[in-house]
A and B are shown apart, each in its own frame.
Chain A
Amino acid sequence: MTPRETVNQGAKTRRAFMLGFRLLIFLAFVGATLFGGDALVRKVMQTSPALFLASILTSRRVPTDLVFGAISGAIFIACAFRRRFFCRRVCPLGACVDVAAYARRRLFKRPALRFGATRVLRPFPILALVWLAALLVPLLNRNVSIPFDLTPLAFDPTSLLASWLRGDALGVSLAFFVGCFLVASYAWRFQVCPCGLFQDLLFLPTAIVQRIRKRLRKKALDKAPNEVEKERESSTTRRNFLLGGATCAVVALFWSFAKRAASNARNVFFRPPGALPSPQFETLCSQCGQCLRACPTRILTTATPQFASSLPLASTTRGTPIVLFERGDGYCEKDCVACADACPTGAIAPITIPTKPSYPIATAVFRLDYCLLYYQQECSICRRECPYDAIDFVWSDEEYASLPTIREEACVGCGRCVVRCPGAGDFVDEEEKHVKALSLKPRDV
């Protein structure tokens, strides 16, 4: 960053032009998210180098769309040679940061607070390292889950923005962030944003080469250090030390809360078909909500207490998609992989319709005393409705009735039998009238 005092007219024009260009990208992103199809949003989101890489690594799927694939690839490569290329040139949230910083300069007549970070890893962004650990550890070891709510990909700027635009809390979230940007414009960019850290990592080789070059040049020139620069550096280091300490405290707090939540959790909930096993799913899910929007039967919801008060949730599941069959009459359609197609990160593996049966959601369980057949009534709805022929009626001498029997190897837990089951109606007490004879249980339990 050049000192603002020496900015000449040409640079000013260039910066204004750049800002205008980025606002255009921002608006394009907003437009794509609000009005475009899910496929388009997924592609736009993958301009984020972090999501781009996550998608390719986890889904082992090369982008089939040449134009968007090429753009995302080009941005990815540019990040390796231009410091924070995505932040500065593409990122729609980055545009917000810069607008806020610009507004702050104009309003308060002073530059935004900058917590250093002009050089790679110098201010030691602790949270950034935590991000990295949170991303890598669960991916490498399936038995370790992320100990807090915030998974790095969920804080990827494109994912954040997409989830806001889609969600109800758009105004609140945006106001909060713009407010933060006004106070400390670059704190987000250099201290928090996981995608920013990722770009720094991408840029690391180039940065090292640059530093060596600079040192060599310095050695060749005068060795006298600049006193003012030194002073500024020490103050920045102190501030960063305090910030790091605060971050550590916040993380510790999260940890303790999360541990308590996790120990209380029943964790009986279901993921979309093809979802990676926990905790990899939680790690890779950017909580962007694209799968929710893509689902034609609207059975996906975010795991929040608001939607699923019956689900005491471990903190890491909050905000990630779960399948809820209790609402309405939706179930997972046999010939649909819309959620997998929409997932930008590969948290939901890119399954296909023929392979879908090998990715069960759950398995159906039968409860005798809520079944009409148990009360000697005529009913064959579940057997007729099952798209996988997983329900047989088997005669039971003991109950003197033919009762549904679920072949677990064929059942994928699509929930169709559950939503279609009429329950035992008048044969049970008033408050149990809507209890169904079929429900779902997790597969592994």
Chain B
Amino acid sequence: MFISELTRRDMLKTLGFGVGAAALGIGSAEDVARADFVRKEDKTTGQLLDGSQATPCKQLADGSIVRPAANVPKISETDVLVVGGGPAGCCAAIAAARLGVKTTLVERYGHFGGLATGGLVVHILGHWISENGKKIQATQGIGEEMMKRLEGLPNGIVNREFGKNPTLDAEVYKYLLVEMITEANIEVFLHSWASDAIIADAPDPKTGAPVVRGAVLQTKLGPQAIIAKQVVDTTGDGDVFVPAGAAHTQRAYEIGLPYRIGNLDRVNPPKDAKRPRYLGDVTPVAGVKWVNMAGPSLDGVDVKTLSKLELQHRKQIWKQVQEVRNTPGYENVYLMETAPQIGVRITRVIEGDATLTLAEAKAGKKYDDCVGIGGAWHGDHIGWQIPYRSMTPKNVENIITAGRSISAEPLMSDSVRVIPNCWVSGQAAGVAAALAAKSNVLARNVSIPDVQKALLEQKAYLG
């Protein structure tokens, strides 16, 4: 089709421009119009729909809006469904798939990595701990494997040294995750927003709690259902556990918008000049830096807030970059990209069977069901144990959460939400979900020694 078009164009060319121009004036107008319009004869894949199947929401007489009941098509049935393809979700999916269960990963954007890639939060903050005066890398397992593999890729990671916090490259990490997820044979649904939970018709006979059976995704084709034995909610915002009815708290925390600037290798500041304020941090790419942003503490699930902040932050970023460019010697610096995903730090946190507190973490509290060790931002304090019970909601069965939404008091937010700790809790959630699916028990009742054994086999660090 394309070739024939080209040929036709070439033919016209060979005929000469003059002839074409003459044709415009006197000849066949139809031919000329064909030549001017790109005319790709696309195949029509669907049949004509007359719209009679549509079930839009209705506004009732009293002004309220209701969604009519409708059947939801099922697109997949799986053992472990991981919703949210950020650092925690990817680790969960890979860990589960490696245990030989059918694993499905759902992600709202077109790539994996969540805030670490789309959010441009490229700093690996807090995988070192200090114990008895010795520095130990507390983040092992899949997180460590990722960092190691990033090292093998060009411009993948920088500052990966003993005791230091490395910085990864968002694009390289996006690629690596694709590589790892396809290797693990994980079924993937991208561009799908989890919009609802699916629970079993009857609650669990023993506890009376609802049992999660899957999730509904909002796609361009409307809602679609995935049925699963176990669900891992790593959306960070509780997109599944909230509709499932899990008890949770809502946090307002700093929401920012990181960005990257380029040409930093082409600056020539005069001697003794003051550095511009918004220069940001090193990245694996020479001459490129990423600039973080704290932002005001607001509700990260309210779309009005997020919209307002996007506008405000983009203005601010522009201002900051211009400030850098107006500094003598920094005229060549330019704004490379702003994060496509706004930097929401923490929103909804489950009420788990156990809740992490800062005081207990400081005291080095030990848990029987420890499934991971959280690190220190600057490697300057002891590690803190992550109990499995902090990942299971109190009042809902068969759903495990990981990443920033595990049960923790607000003072622990800064420790829980960072990437290495998301890797650690994600891997633990994936292993637990896989073992629960295999042995056909409720997620809450999975054998902890088995989980710990499997985690150790996956080279995780449990203290």
Q: Which residues of A contact B (CB under 8 A)?
A: 373-381, 384, 393, 395, 400-402, 422, 427-429
B441 within 8 A of A: no
Query: Hey, which chain B residues are within 8 Å of A428, CB to CB?
Result: 275
A393 to B253, CA, bound (A): 11
**Is the pair B358, A378 in contact by a Cβ cutoff of 8 Å?**
no
**Is the pair A384, B358 in contact by a Cβ cutoff of 8 Å?**
yes
14 contacts between A and B (CB under 8 A): A374-B277, A375-B277, A376-B280, A376-B291, A377-B292, A378-B123, A378-B292, A379-B377, A381-B377, A400-B316, A401-B294, A402-B297, A427-B277, A428-B275
**Is the pair B377, A378 in contact by a Cβ cutoff of 8 Å?**
yes
Q: Which residues of B in the span 350-388 have a Cβ within 8 Å of any Cβ on A?
A: 358, 377-378
Query: Hey, which chain B residues are within 8 Å of A378, CB to CB?
Result: 123, 125, 292, 294, 377, 414
B99 within 8 A of A: no
Q: Which B-chain residue is minimally distant from A429 (CB atoms)?
A: B275
**Is the pair B296, A402 in contact by a Cβ cutoff of 8 Å?**
yes
**Is the pair A427, B297 in contact by a Cβ cutoff of 8 Å?**
no
Closest CB pairs A-B (n = 4)? A395-B296, A376-B292, A402-B294, A380-B414
B254 within 8 A of A: yes
Query: Hey, which chain B residues are within 8 Å of A395, CB to CB?
Result: 296-297
**Is the pair A422, B378 in contact by a Cβ cutoff of 8 Å?**
yes
Q: Which A-chain residue is minimally distant from B121 (CB atoms)?
A: A378
Query: Hey, which chain A residues are within 8 Å of B281, CB to CB?
Result: 377
A318 to B296, CA, bound (A): 48
Query: Hey, which chain A residues are within 8 Å of B297, CB to CB?
Result: 393, 395, 402
**Is the pair A373, B294 in contact by a Cβ cutoff of 8 Å?**
yes
A429 to B269, CA, bound (A): 14
B158 CB to nearest chain A CB (Å): 14
A377 to B414, CA, bound (A): 13
A61 CB to nearest chain B CB (Å): 33
B334 within 8 A of A: no
Which of A374, A376, A422, A428 is the most central at the interface, judged by chain B CB atoms within 10 Å of its CB? A376
Contact of A427 among B123, B279, B320 (CB under 8 A): B279
Q: Which B-chain residue is minimally distant from A401 (CB atoms)?
A: B294
Query: Hey, which chain A residues are within 8 Å of B277, CB to CB?
Result: 374-375, 427
A234 CB to nearest chain B CB (Å): 73
Q: Given contacts A375-B279, A376-B278, could you give 4 more A-B pairs where the C-beta distance is less than 8 Å?
A: A375-B277, A376-B294, A401-B294, A428-B275
**Is the pair A427, B275 in contact by a Cβ cutoff of 8 Å?**
yes
Query: Hey, which chain A residues are within 8 Å of B291, CB to CB?
Result: 376
Contact of B414 among A373, A376, A384 (CB under 8 A): A384
A422 to B275, CA, bound (A): 19
A352 to B414, CA, bound (A): 34
B293 within 8 A of A: yes
Could you mark each residue 117-161 of chain B with 1 if its beta carbon is under 8 Å from any beta carbon of chain A, else 0? Answer: 000000101000000000000000000000000000000000000
A422 to B165, CA, bound (A): 15
B21 within 8 A of A: no
**Is the pair A402, B254 in contact by a Cβ cutoff of 8 Å?**
yes
B336 within 8 A of A: no
A384 to B416, CA, bound (A): 14
B333 CB to nearest chain A CB (Å): 15
A71 CB to nearest chain B CB (Å): 43
Q: Which B-chain residue is minimally distant from A376 (CB atoms)?
A: B292
A408 to B248, CA, bound (A): 34
A393 CB to nearest chain B CB (Å): 8
B411 within 8 A of A: yes
A229 to B378, CA, bound (A): 82
A33 to B277, CA, bound (A): 55
Which of A380, A395, A400, A428 is the most central at the interface, judged by chain B CB atoms within 10 Å of its CB? A400
B228 CB to nearest chain A CB (Å): 35
B277 CB to nearest chain A CB (Å): 6
Query: Hey, which chain A residues are within 8 Å of B275, CB to CB?
Result: 427-429
Query: Hey, which chain B residues are within 8 Å of A384, CB to CB?
Result: 358, 411, 414
A420 CB to nearest chain B CB (Å): 9
Q: Which B-chain residue is minimally distant from A420 (CB atoms)?
A: B380
B297 CB to nearest chain A CB (Å): 7
Q: Which B-chain residue is minimally distant from A396 (CB atoms)?
A: B296
A401 to B295, CA, bound (A): 6
A71 to B291, CA, bound (A): 70
